[in-house]
């Protein structure tokens, strides 16, 4: 008989961890109610307590991070193109001017 691992979404984990932090019910009672192991509840409770401060910190804007990465990539591309241009200018002879033609 194969067992498959149950997956819990983050909203349910947060709900269970908040109830555990309130300490109105014991971990064993919560475990029975939500059919989760008490050790798992303790772990989620600990994660919530440790990560609670990050809720009040402004998160970096994902669009701004993507923009920074794009800008960095474009500057690298510009640098490479400038190097190629300089190399080509050194290797290719200058064009012959039309001195005698009028």
pLDDT digits (tens, 9 = 90+) for 5-43: 888 899 999 999 999 999 999 989 999 999 999 999 999
Indicate if the alpha-carbon torsion angle 55, 57, 58, 62 is positive or negative.
negative
Q: How much is the pLDDT for 40?
A: 93
Interval 81-93 mean pLDDT: 92
pLDDT confidence band for 76 (50 / 70 / 90): very high
Indicate if the alpha-carbon torsion angle 11, 17, 22, 24 is positive or negative.
positive
d(CA 19, CA 25): 8
């Amino acid at each position: 008989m194969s067992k498959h691992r149950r997956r819990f979404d983050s909203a349910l984990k947060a709900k269970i961890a908040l109830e555990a932090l309130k300490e109105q019910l014991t971990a064993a009672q919560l475990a029975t109610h939500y059919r989760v192991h008490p050790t798992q509840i303790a772990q989620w409770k600990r994660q919530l307590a440790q990560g609670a401060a990050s809720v009040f910190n402004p998160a970096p804007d994902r669009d701004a991070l993507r923009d920074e990465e794009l800008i960095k990539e474009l500057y690298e591309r510009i640098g490479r193109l400038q190097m190629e241009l300089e190399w080509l200018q050194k290797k290719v002879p200058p064009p012959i001017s039309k001195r005698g033609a009028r």
